[in-house]
Amino acid sequence: MNGDVVDHWHRDLAGINLEALERLKAESYKRKIVWVRGNHDGKYELEGDSNIKFVNSYNIDKLLFIAHGHNFDKVMPSHKGFIIIFKMLHNLRIKLLGLETVHVAHYAKKFPHLYEVLTRHVRKKAIKYAKQNGYKAVTCGHTHFVEDKTVNGIRYLNTGAWTESPLSSVRVTDDKIELIEI
Ligand SMILES: [Mn+2]
C-alpha cells in the first residue's frame, strides 16, 4: 500500500473505514502487507495487533522502488500559502454552492495546466531518483493521477488515488510489471 491509506491520522476511524482497517489487519496474518507511509499517514499509529509492516519506502530488488511520492514533491510545500487559499476556495464552493464534497485533488483537476505542473514535477523527481539509485522502475501515488510512462529508460507508474476513479494498482510478477485497473 503506497501511502495515504488513512487521511486524518489524528482522528479515530469509525464505520466502514474502521472495518477496512480491521480487514487489513486480519489480512496481514494471511499474507505480507507493507504500508508505505505518505504525507497524510506519516504519523499514523495503528492500534491493536497486526502483522502490517510500516516503512517509508519499499523496493523489490533493483527492479522496482516504491514510495508514496510526497518526498518527490517540492512544489506543494513551497506553495503552502497558495494551497491554503485553494483549499479555502474549494471548501467555500462546497459550503456556499452546496456542491458535492470531493477531495481537493479532484477539484484541482479542473485546472489541468496547474495540475500538470505537479504531476510532471513528481514524475521527473521519481525518475531521477530511480536512475541515480539503479532502479529499473519506480511507483508512487500522491498526485492522484494515474500514469504509466517510460522516460530515459526508467518506467514510472503512478497508481493515482483510492478515492478517485480509475482505481489502479501495480502487479509485479517474475517477468513483468503491470499497471492494472481494479
Ligand atoms: Mn499524498
Nearest 5°: the CA angle 27, 61, 55 is 45
3-state DSSP percent of the chain in helix, strand and coil, to 5: 35, 20, 45
Domain boundaries, the chain: 1-56, 59-181
Give average pLDDT by consecutive 10-residue segment, the chain, 182 residues: 86 88 96 96 91 97 97 79 76 78 74 85 96 97 95 97 90 95 92
- pLDDT attached to residue 103: 73
CB 83 within 8 A of CB 118: no
| Ligand 1 geometric centre to CA of 144 (Å) | 8
| Ligand 1 geometric centre to CA of 61 (Å) | 24
| Ligand 1 geometric centre to CA of 142 (Å) | 4
| Ligand 1 geometric centre to CA of 141 (Å) | 7
- Which pLDDT tens digit goes with each residue over 64-92? 999 999 999 887 777 777 777 777 777 88
